[in-house]
């Protein structure tokens, strides 16, 4: 009985240490590129180097999360409207002729894109972009919206992160991770409220209500 008690204590201590290391890693490997918010009409350059995913078991991997609110899809219609880009690795933009978001991943040889249609105006959208050696997963408001298999390995460019410039809306709380986020981690990020200075807070948190988006998914 004494031996079993000691083993139980050691098991609990091991679990505590494991959880502590895991939580510490989660807290420290996030690089906040934009802590508040900025207008889509303002171009801002993040001039610091981002840590690359060296020595990751998954290889060349990275993730981005953030908030997007598009006021007017017609402004700049027919033109390229970049929301965020790091030499297209990744790239996030408004589609030139529709209310869609375009996510880009530069690979060794080409640039592959994923189109997310039916994005509403004047509503907060949380995005999660998770890239590994084989594929890119795009999450909208914590839900996996597209899984795209890459034809080649992703290219981690040395370009600076450029945000905004020529679209009518707001970008907020953008973070980079030098690893792949799990679906649960993306959901946690999506469950956070947008920065308070982005938009007056509604009486109820409308960005948690996914009925507007799930309805669109079911109708496509």
Q: What is the dihedral of CA 43, 50, 30, 33, to 10 degrees?
A: -10
CA distance 158 to 82: 18
How many contiguous H segments (helices) and E segments (strands) does the chain have? Answer: 3, 12
Q: Which residues of 119-133 are buried (b: 16+ CB within 10 A; e: fewer)?
A: beeebbbbbbbbbbe
Class of domain 33-199+210-219: mainly beta
Nearest to 147 by CA among 173, 120, 123, 112: 112
pLDDT of residue 56: 60
Percentage of the chain beyond pLDDT 90 is 63
Helix residue ranges, H only, 52-199 = 183-191
Is the pLDDT at 114 greater than 60? The verdict is yes
CA distance 197 to 172: 9
Residue 92 bridge partners (DSSP)? 84, 103
CB 33 within 8 Å of CB 161: yes
CB 82 within 8 Å of CB 130: no
**What are the extents of the domains in the chain?**
33-199+210-219
CB 188 within 8 Å of CB 128: no
pLDDT of residue 41: 93
Sign of CA dihedral 210, 195, 198, 139: negative
Nearest to 120 by CA among 104, 138, 140: 140
Mean pLDDT value across residues 42-62: 81
**pTM to 2 decimal places:** 0.78
pLDDT of residue 15: 46
Alpha carbon 116 to its chain centroid, in Å, reads 13
User: What tens digit of pLDDT does each residue of 157-200 get?
Assistant: 889 999 998 999 999 999 999 999 999 999 999 999 887 545 45
């Amino acid at each position: 009985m004494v031996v079993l008690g000691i083993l139980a204590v050691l098991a609990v201590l091991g679990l505590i240490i494991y959880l502590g290391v895991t939580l510490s890693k989660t807290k420290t490997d996030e690089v906040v590129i934009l802590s508040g918010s900025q207008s889509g009409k303002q171009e801002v350059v993040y001039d610091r180097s981002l840590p690359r995913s060296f020595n990751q078991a998954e290889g060349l991997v990275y993730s981005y999360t953030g908030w997007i609110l598009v006021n007017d899809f017609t402004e700049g219609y027919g033109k390229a409207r970049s929301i965020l880009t790091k030499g297209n690795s990744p790239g996030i933009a408004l589609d030139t002729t529709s209310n869609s978001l375009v996510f880009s991943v530069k690979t060794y040889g080409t640039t592959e894109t994923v189109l997310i249609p039916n994005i509403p105006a004047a509503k907060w959208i949380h995005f999660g972009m998770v890239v590994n050696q084989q594929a890119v997963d795009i999450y909208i408001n914590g839900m996996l919206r597209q899984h795209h298999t890459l034809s080649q390995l992703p290219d981690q460019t040395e370009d600076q992160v450029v945000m905004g410039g020529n679209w009518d809306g707001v970008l907020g709380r953008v973070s980079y991770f030098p690893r792949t986020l799990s679906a649960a981690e993306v959901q946690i990020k999506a469950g956070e409220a947008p920065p308070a200075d982005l938009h007056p807070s509604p009486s109820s948190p409308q960005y948690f209500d996914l009925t507007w988006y799930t309805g669109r998914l079911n109708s496509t």
